[in-house]
Structure 1
């Protein structure tokens, strides 16, 4: 078993006034604890005090304050043990130390008062107690003290008590015989050190008539008010309550899994009433959510947040309450509120699950806003406005108008293509390429988008990508009737020519050497099929025209022509 488990059992035994058993359990808890725990020593000290083992109680209390010298309740334990030993002055000092650390400590206040009363009673009462001139003779004839009084040393001490009672207080507490003598003088049977005003049931001892006093003038001794019986610390008592509340939660969880939500909610409420842990409120909100009572679930989570703030609950639990509110608002189709609470949750504690929920809600809200913004009529107005700006050479405003067109008609590829044209004029070629890709994705047969993409790639000197884009455009255009074939061919020739044009400062020989090392040219020349086609072309040029109907062959032949490998007359 763990230290906490032994501690819980010890608390239960103490509550049942099984002090010896409780002390054994706290001993096991101390042995099982990974590090010295001042609360465990405090609790065992309380057990020893309650069972009148004041020496052991003081030893544990001193160990408690040694481990944690800033804990006021530890000094209460020291004071209780000292009081039990009859060291009222020491007890008063210990209780005053507790008050220094915690001025509002009720037990310490009562302890100071009780110790002060005991000191006052000792100063004034002992003199009266030993003022009887016949005391020595009574002690010598009393069966309890007759044998003791044969010791001249003890007789001397009793006589000193009669003359100066206060000076003998310390020795009285250490000499068992003097304690018995005092009991006979008081008319009380004292068999051992008294528990300082406590009987076994934690009730103040009743005033007792002094049997040896004259009947007509009975004397009674006013007892000091007792110090309250030590009880387990509040945090120890809470362990039992927490265990009880967790039991309710466990049963509620079973009901939740069985979809018996009303019964589960009742038990979560009972757990919360037993012990304040906002986990129970979070669980109750989950049951209310599954039940479909969304507004109540939100209120429960809000209560969990408020209560959690007051009791300084774990920020993870507060984050969970916020996230649960967000999830509930998603269910209520209130995405803006959901996003608000997901963000609050992430501020408390960042988790992948909540972050994914936030992103999903934001994405859905953005889509809805975009859908609500769609208006074909206004999109057409924006297109015409953009065209006017484009014609005037006002490229920034053209981009702005075409962006409005895209937002108003996100499925119309013309908006993306037109904006790409304006972006290209502003030398924003990568953005233009991305817009062309979007237009092609919307309509794979939109040839103008291919041409604008290839133009931007050519400006970026991405010759291979440009030629590949044009080859794709050529195939699509042929399927659609070839209306743009001439423009595509011209742009292809331009791209091929630019690819193999001499670089500034490069000689013709260096240009040829660079071209001969071009990876694509080398690959084409090593292709057996192309070698066969080129061999046929030498003998029959018309055969090459037939082969060039194949797009792949066409592209390779045009590449070799641009590189100067194939020359035309």
Structure 2
């Protein structure tokens, strides 16, 4: 059987909750896979977690992220395994990494929230289990008295006192401990842990939390003796808490003041709303008023308080995201781009908003531009140019490219940096990159003759003769207008080289075959079909001297030279 077939059987076994068989099939799938497959290790990790074998689940999860470190779900597996082992901090790190890779990952978000709750609850429970007289108290408690008659359960409770980290495994293997915890905490812990989801045919197994090995046992204490009912007392009505309603009314009043740009008055009412009822919406609104007022330091302080209080109150993550986003905007106004980027990223980790994502991208681009501008230094650029020239002279082309790149970074508007780097790149046979650098140099300085010549040379090396000849025609005009034609001989030499190589005979080709191939060239065919050129060629046959007169026209001269190179016009 193939690895995919074993995987499919493993998925079916998982769906049937036969986790041991699922582990067996996934193991065979891993062994028969042609290359290490992160999904198979992820699936087996989920199966191990469902069996309560969290160490094995953790090893497979770690192998999964080792194979594919960019797959967020692999870190969900790591988090689930640590969660099962009661290692809250490690679980928190893993789920946070999953969210970093995929901010919209719902499983990671839920896992992170459950981990935070479990970590907080674990600290409280740890204090409870440290009570030396806990066992005796449980034996006296009507809710647990019958349960504590079981020596096995007593032993488990005592184990939890010495090893609180084993709590999650024990809770899931013996739900009676939930009743014990509830009695100690004074609450009813009847909530069961999340169940593992079944895998789908072509997708990895969804994140799984451990499943109880058996249903919770029910132990009903003996019924108390019936007693005569007491006289019914008239119920005293509970006082109604209107604080939330009152706070919202204050917020509405503040919103009206905000719209009128009466920010100080709005801030005062937002403060009263927060003092009346703790909802970080009021803090976020206050921060908005401070932001519009231009008091960015106050905005930052308020938003930091909103994040801190939001964590304490377990506020909606969208509200926390809004606090982080406003922090980023405040730092943006203070021209602190690194902090702005930091808090925009934090906001996106809480909730992915297109608006915040757009602000992040703009801030990142602005920071990159700012860093580049701060790096500009003409003196350092000249040092880099001379260093590149020295390396070029010695034939150390890679070092020359590096030095000229530094020159470009230090003086991005100096066309010489691009032209010089193009020369070094050409020596390294990197002709397309050389052409790009020459184009940039020409863009910065359209009169830079040497950049045109280097571009044409690179194009000839690439056998792109048509573009090379076009470039040489351009530089011939530039050289005549700005350089007194000093480069004319070099330009003509390159033009002859390009035109002759364009229609040069191929090995084993007869002169007739070469001529036939050249005649079929699209540009040659277009020239021969041009009525004006046909008239000029007819005149040249009757009066060769007339051709010299026509050659004074640059466009005609170009076409005549192409025909000469193609062998259509023969010269002696």
Name the TM-score, length of structure 2 as normaliser: 0.57
For structure 2, list consecutive stretches of 5 or more residues without a partner in the other structure.
1-141, 144-177, 190-221
CA displacement at 1:333 relative to structure 2: 1.6
Alignment of 1:144-543 (within 5 A): 197-199=232-234, 202-203=235-236, 244-480=246-482, 481-543=484-546
The C-alpha deviation readout for 1:377-403, integer Å capped at 9, x for no partner, is 232222222111111111111112212
Counterpart-to-counterpart distance in 1, 2:243 and 2:528: 87
Pick closer, same or farther for the CA change 1:488–1:264 going to 2, 3 Å. Answer: same
CA displacement at 1:246 relative to structure 2: 4.0
Pick closer, same or farther for the CA change 1:286–1:518 going to 2, 3 Å. Answer: same
The C-alpha deviation readout for 1:181-223, integer Å capped at 9, x for no partner, is xxxxxxxxxxxxx9x6232xx15xxxxxxxxxxxxxxxxxxxx
Does the 8 A contact of 2:182 with 2:188 survive in 1? no
Pick closer, same or farther for the CA change 1:273–1:413 going to 2, 3 Å. Answer: same
Query: What residue is the counterpart of 1:565 in the other structure?
Result: 568
CA displacement at 1:440 relative to structure 2: 1.0
Alignment of 1:89-108 (within 5 A): 103=183
Does the 8 A contact of 1:301 with 1:321 survive in 2? yes
Pick closer, same or farther for the CA change 1:512–1:250 going to 2, 3 Å. Answer: farther
CA displacement at 1:553 relative to structure 2: 2.7
CA displacement at 1:242 relative to structure 2: 5.0
The C-alpha deviation readout for 1:57-112, integer Å capped at 9, x for no partner, is xxxxxxxxxxxxxxxxxxxxxxxxxxxxxxxxxxx99xxxx99996566899xxxx
Count of equivalent residues: 365
Pick closer, same or farther for the CA change 1:498–1:283 going to 2, 3 Å. Answer: farther
Does the 8 A contact of 1:475 with 1:551 survive in 2? no
Quote the RMSD (CA, aligned, Å).
Answer: 3.4
Counterpart-to-counterpart distance in 2, 1:244 and 1:261: 21
The C-alpha deviation readout for 1:279-332, integer Å capped at 9, x for no partner, is 332222121011111111011111222222233333333222222212111211
Counterpart-to-counterpart distance in 2, 1:382 and 1:101: 71
Counterpart-to-counterpart distance in 1, 2:527 and 2:246: 82
Does the 8 A contact of 1:248 with 1:267 survive in 2? yes
Pick closer, same or farther for the CA change 1:470–1:353 going to 2, 3 Å. Answer: farther
The C-alpha deviation readout for 1:152-190, integer Å capped at 9, x for no partner, is xxxxxxxxxxxxxxxxxxxxxxxxxxxxxxxxxxxxxxx
Does the 8 A contact of 1:326 with 1:337 survive in 2? yes
Pick closer, same or farther for the CA change 1:369–1:509 going to 2, 3 Å. Answer: same
Query: What residue is the counterpart of 1:556 in the other structure?
Result: 559
Pick closer, same or farther for the CA change 1:345–1:543 going to 2, 3 Å. Answer: farther
CA displacement at 1:337 relative to structure 2: 1.8
For structure 1, list consecutive stretches of 5 or more residues without a partner in the other structure.
1-91, 109-115, 126-193, 204-228
Counterpart-to-counterpart distance in 1, 2:279 and 2:514: 80
Counterpart-to-counterpart distance in 2, 1:526 and 1:496: 20
CA displacement at 1:551 relative to structure 2: 3.4
Counterpart-to-counterpart distance in 1, 2:255 and 2:262: 10
Pick closer, same or farther for the CA change 1:245–1:434 going to 2, 3 Å. Answer: farther
Query: What residue is the counterpart of 2:119 in the other structure?
Result: none
Counterpart-to-counterpart distance in 2, 1:368 and 1:337: 14
Pick closer, same or farther for the CA change 1:445–1:276 going to 2, 3 Å. Answer: same
Counterpart-to-counterpart distance in 1, 2:281 and 2:534: 78
- SS across alignment from 2:485: coil
Alignment of 1:8-47 (within 5 A): none
Counterpart-to-counterpart distance in 1, 2:434 and 2:266: 59
Pick closer, same or farther for the CA change 1:241–1:418 going to 2, 3 Å. Answer: same
Counterpart-to-counterpart distance in 1, 2:182 and 2:243: 25
Counterpart-to-counterpart distance in 1, 2:263 and 2:418: 53
CA displacement at 1:354 relative to structure 2: 2.6
Counterpart-to-counterpart distance in 2, 1:374 and 1:106: 66
Counterpart-to-counterpart distance in 2, 1:534 and 1:277: 90
Counterpart-to-counterpart distance in 1, 2:266 and 2:551: 78
CA displacement at 1:243 relative to structure 2: 5.2
Counterpart-to-counterpart distance in 1, 2:542 and 2:390: 56
Does the 8 A contact of 1:458 with 1:466 survive in 2? yes
Counterpart-to-counterpart distance in 2, 1:328 and 1:540: 82
Pick closer, same or farther for the CA change 1:329–1:510 going to 2, 3 Å. Answer: same
